Every structure is written in structure tokens, then in C-alpha cells.
């Protein structure tokens, strides 16, 4: 049987995939906790229950794992939007689902802090900046375009504007996530719920209450 020979190899590959996945999860946590610069490979490896060597068997460098993480985050984001929006026939329902998802994002502080880290990283590595920004926007708007094209007909026809509103929303998310973490007592959930949806409405060109 073919399985007789493939099984061990397959098991090894699965094991290795598990190590890689563990390392990615660990890296995400450590990067968000300590920031890119202050994160130590050893901490990432330890968090994953692996050794430094295992890290370097799976990633070429600290930079590589960081950027890999961003690509995966973009994919995850795309999947999440799709899941929320698909199946909803009503345009208003889809809009509300989208807004709901975005507001939720503020509370996923780890993700938002990583986004901030990623953008700081990009603008501090001028050689990569243009490429990274392009990749980031391509990933973000490709989701929006496919899933939300009919939701904002007047905008979807203008990719440039779509990219722009994507960044505007991200600006809100990142700014509020950072400040909520910085001063959770002052910028608490109640305050955020009170203001963010109204700001979002402005971005989506909808007057409040319309």
C-alpha cells in the first residue's frame, strides 16, 4: 500500500507544519506584546515550546516571520469579512454587519498593535516601504472589492477611493486601539461605542442617522 511508505513522511510534514504554526502564533503574541525591535527570537521560540534552532529551520529571519505574519493576517481578515457579509441579501444588513465587524476589531488590540508595528516597520525601512504599502492595500481592498462592490456602488468604481477609505478606517482602528490600551480607564468601551460608529459613518459618506 502506498500509505505504508507515505505515512511517516506525512506525519513528519504535519509535525513540521505544527511547529511552523506554533511559531507563528507565538511570534504574533510576542511581537504584539514587545514590539518588533524588542522581541527576542528566544522568547518566540520559548512561547512556542520550541528552540531557537526550530525558529531558524522555519524562517530565515525575524523580519521574514514578521512579514509572513502580516500576509496571513490579511488573509484572515479577508476570510472574516466574507463570512460576516456573505449570505446577507439586504444591503443595510450587510452594511451593519460590516460596521459591526470593524468596531469589533478595535477590541482585538493584539491585531491592531501588530498593524501599527507593521506600518512603523514599513516607514522605517524605506527600501521596502513602497512594496509593503502596495501589498497591504492590495490585500485589503481585494477583499472589499469582491465582497462589498455593490454595497458602495459609487465608491467601488473608484479603486483609488476605496484604497483611501480602507486607510481611513485603519487609521481609526489603530488610533483608537492604541489609545484604548494606553488609557483603558479613560477611553473605555462605552466611550468607544459612543463615538467610533459615528466616525465610521462619516467615512462611509453617510450622515449620522441617515
Partner DNA sequence: TATGAATGAGAGTTCATTCAT
Partner DNA sequence: AATGAATGAACTCTCATTCAT
- What does the alpha-carbon distance between residue 190 and residue 201 come to, in Å, rounded to a whole number? 18
62 to 101: interface string for DNA, x by CB under 7 A: xx--------------------------------------
Task: Decide whether 100 or 184 has the Cβ nearer to a copy of itself.
Answer: 184
- What does the alpha-carbon distance between residue 152 and residue 129 come to, in Å, rounded to a whole number? 29
Termini Cα distance of the chain: 66
Least Å from the CB of residue 60 to DNA? 7
Q: Of the ranges 2-10, 13-21, 75-83, 192-200, which one interacts with a copy of itself (CB under 8 A)?
A: 192-200
Least Å from the CB of residue 45 to DNA? 7
CB atoms within 10 A of CB 180: 19
Length reported for the chain: 210
Is 146 an interacting residue with respect to a copy of itself (CB under 8 A)? Answer: no
What lies within 8 Å, CB to CB, of 161 at 6+ separation is 155
Residue numbers at the binding site for DNA (CB under 7 A): 7-8, 11-12, 15-16, 18-20, 38-42, 45, 50-54, 56-58, 60-63
Amino acid at each position: 500500500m502506498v500509505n505504508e511508505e507515505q505515512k511517516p513522511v506525512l506525519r513528519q510534514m504535519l509535525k513540521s507544519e505544527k511547529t511552523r504554526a506554533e511559531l507563528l502564533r507565538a511570534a504574533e503574541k510576542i511581537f504584539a506584546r514587545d514590539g518588533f525591535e524588542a522581541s527576542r527570537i528566544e522568547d518566540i521560540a520559548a512561547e512556542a515550546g520550541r528552540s531557537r534552532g526550530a525558529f531558524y529551520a522555519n524562517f530565515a529571519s525575524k523580519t521574514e516571520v514578521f512579514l509572513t505574519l502580516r500576509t496571513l493576517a490579511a488573509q484572515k481578515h479577508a476570510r472574516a469579512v466574507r463570512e460576516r457579509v456573505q449570505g446577507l441579501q439586504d444591503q443595510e444588513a450587510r452594511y451593519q454587519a460590516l460596521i459591526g465587524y470593524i468596531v469589533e476589531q478595535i477590541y482585538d488590540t493584539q491585531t491592531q498593535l501588530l498593524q501599527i508595528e507593521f506600518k512603523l516597520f514599513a516607514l522605517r525601512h524605506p527600501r521596502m516601504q513602497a512594496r509593503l504599502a502596495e501589498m497591504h492595500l492590495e490585500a485589503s481592498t481585494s477583499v472589499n472589492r469582491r465582497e462589498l462592490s455593490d454595497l458602495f456602488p459609487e465608491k467601488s468604481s473608484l479603486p483609488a477611493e476605496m484604497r483611501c477609505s480602507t486607510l481611513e478606517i485603519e487609521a481609526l482602528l489603530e488610533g483608537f486601539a492604541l489609545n484604548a490600551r494606553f488609557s483603558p480607564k479613560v477611553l473605555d468601551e462605552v466611550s468607544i461605542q459612543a463615538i467610533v460608529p459615528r466616525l465610521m459613518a462619516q467615512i462611509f459618506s453617510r450622515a449620522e442617522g441617515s
